[in-house]
Amino acid sequence: MRSSLFSSILLPLLIVGDLVQAYSSYANDFVDPNFVVAGKFGNNTLAAQATILQWAEDSATGGPWSVTQKNVTAPSGDIHDYMSWAPYWWPDCSSVGNTTELTPEQIWTTCPYVSRDGKFNPDGRLINDVGNFQSLSDAVLYNSIAFALTSNSSSSYSQTTVNYIKTWFLDDATKMNPNLNYAQMERGPDGQIGSHTGILDLKGMAKVVTAIEILRKTNCTDWTSDLDNEMNTWTTQYIAWLESATISLEEEAAPNNHGTFWYNQVAALKILVGDNAGALNVTTTYFATQYMSQITSTGEQATVRTRPYHYHAYNLAAMITNARLSTYLGDASVWNKTTNEGSTIKTALDFAMTLNAAATGEAAYADELYPNIAAVGAVYGDPDGKYAAFLLNADPTYAEEADFLWDQPLAGGEAESTALLHASGTSTAGAKATPGAAITNNNGAEFHSANWVLGACVLASLQYAFLL
């Protein structure tokens, strides 16, 4: 069962727009588009397929999104520039010697900003480019898969996917400039420029690339060659920025989750522009550098200092995404690659499963680890049934999760996946999911809605960055 507990640190961002999202927003993922397009899914995934159709609709609510929707313009004066503000920084106007009350805009530029550890400045709600991009990445991920599950050429799912991608990246009136110069920006006279932690804001590019690859490989008629060319041009420019901007190079070098997610983004984007050799170079570089010192001999992730449960799950999701990208690019050996202390991604997962989220005040994050368990169970197998048992105990309806479709066979084979499904009371009978005819389970119960927290990890990782 999903938890809807929110910590006080996370609550402020949630007040932007819809309070609770009725779908899971995985920390990150790359879903093999060939697997999705081939459509060879076991009957044990029918509930997951139905969930994806439902989440396609739920996640599309509120879109399309665009950086031009914010009421505040970046210091460049260009509304097409992406912007987010460093969330725990507050103005100290005591030294500016004003004689009349300052406007918000004057405060943002003239008052020095000081960090109040972990105290969210609520004026950050004026800008939600980061939350909107996360919404976009989830909407296109679920809508593209829902399209592939139900149609060969065009459907409302593919139209939504294409419309949202066009609005965010391509349409003249609404497109984002291909840079993150103002991401996680500090304000005040010493600020007005993005910081490297802001590159993380667009980690969901791995989901966007999954969606576009599905549109391409299904020959979706909504994804025209003109759009494909425009997206390639945009992405080529953005990659050039990512490979040259100082703040991006700092993020690339970050030893913690920030570095891991940087590789997710750049490898996925290189796949998008057809540079698979370059993409493989990116993932191979990750597994030769940061990865080597990220997991200790016991499976602990070395750089974690606070909120250990969340950070173990969060960086694992990024490591798994790099491994999935590498596998797609032809090198699955990274799953067995050992760190300097002899550990693998599986060792890291096994350690994370021993952590008690509640014991460190992180009960709200408990289900963040579950997709990682499903992924590891699917890749490495589950001879002693440990992973299936954990998931069954933690969430008896796990077979209704979207990722149950692509984390197959979940645990040691389809038999165990099917057992997991039966435990959730869901029928294995029935045909492939069809649009508008979502499959219901034997209990007549509605598929659960996950209440994952919008922007939680972005905020959390910022706080983490400040502590390093």
Ligand X SMILES: *[C@@H]1O[C@H](CO)[C@@H](O)[C@H](O)[C@H]1NC(C)=O
Binding-site ranges for ligand X (CB under 6 A): 37, 42-43, 71, 93, 98, 101-102, 107, 126, 128, 150-152, 218-219, 281, 284-285, 288, 332-333, 335-336, 429
Distance in Å, CB of 206 to ligand X, minimum: 19
Residue 223 or 234 with smaller CB distance to ligand X? 223
Could you tell me which of 218, 65, 227, 225 has the C-alpha nearest to residue 154? 218
Question: At 91, which helix (H) or strand (E)?
Answer: strand 89-91
3-state secondary structure of 295: strand
Q: Is 274 left (phi over 0), alpha (psi -120 to 50) or beta?
A: left
Residue 98 or 306 with smaller CB distance to ligand X? 98
Distance in Å, CB of 151 to ligand X, minimum: 5
Q: Are strands 182-185 and 83-85 parallel, antiparallel or unpaired?
A: parallel
> What is the amino acid identity at position 175?
K
Core vs surface per residue 354-379: b (16+ CB within 10 A) or e = ebebeeeebebbbbbbbbbbbbbbbb
Could you tell me which of 265, 113, 255, 136 has the C-alpha nearest to residue 199? 265
* Spacing of C-alpha 144 from chain mean position: 16
Distance in Å, CB of 13 to ligand X, minimum: 12
Residue 24 or 344 with smaller CB distance to ligand X? 344
Based on the number of CB atoms within 10 Å of its own CB, is 330 exposed (0-12), middle (13-18) or buried (19 or more)?
exposed
Asked whether the beta carbons of 464 and 256 are under 8 A apart, the reply is: yes
Based on the number of CB atoms within 10 Å of its own CB, is 211 exposed (0-12), middle (13-18) or buried (19 or more)?
buried
Residue 291 or 309 with smaller CB distance to ligand X? 291
Written as six digits, the tokens of 294 are 């990220």
- 182 forms beta bridges with 83
Asked whether the beta carbons of 345 and 398 are under 8 A apart, the reply is: no
Residue 336 or 443 with smaller CB distance to ligand X? 336
Distance in Å, CB of 69 to ligand X, minimum: 7
Could you tell me which of 33, 16, 23 has the C-alpha nearest to residue 272? 33
Residue 201 or 367 with smaller CB distance to ligand X? 201
End-to-end CA distance of the chain: 33
Distance in Å, CB of 4 to ligand X, minimum: 24
DSSP state of 169: I
Asked whether the beta carbons of 419 and 403 are under 8 A apart, the reply is: no
C-alpha torsion 37→400→390→385, nearest 10: -50
Distance in Å, CB of 344 to ligand X, minimum: 9
Distance in Å, CB of 26 to ligand X, minimum: 22
Distance in Å, CB of 102 to ligand X, minimum: 4
Residue 6 or 335 with smaller CB distance to ligand X? 335
Residue 214 or 357 with smaller CB distance to ligand X? 214
Distance in Å, CB of 35 to ligand X, minimum: 13
Residue 127 or 392 with smaller CB distance to ligand X? 127
Residue 280 or 465 with smaller CB distance to ligand X? 280
Residue 186 or 331 with smaller CB distance to ligand X? 331
Residue 37 or 363 with smaller CB distance to ligand X? 37
d(CA 150, CA 155): 8
- 434 forms beta bridges with 437
Distance in Å, CB of 277 to ligand X, minimum: 9
How many CB atoms are closer than 10 A to CB 189?
Answer: 11
Asked whether the beta carbons of 50 and 399 are under 8 A apart, the reply is: no
Distance in Å, CB of 55 to ligand X, minimum: 18
Residues 6 or more apart whose Cβ sits within 8 Å of residue 163: 64
Distance in Å, CB of 468 to ligand X, minimum: 26
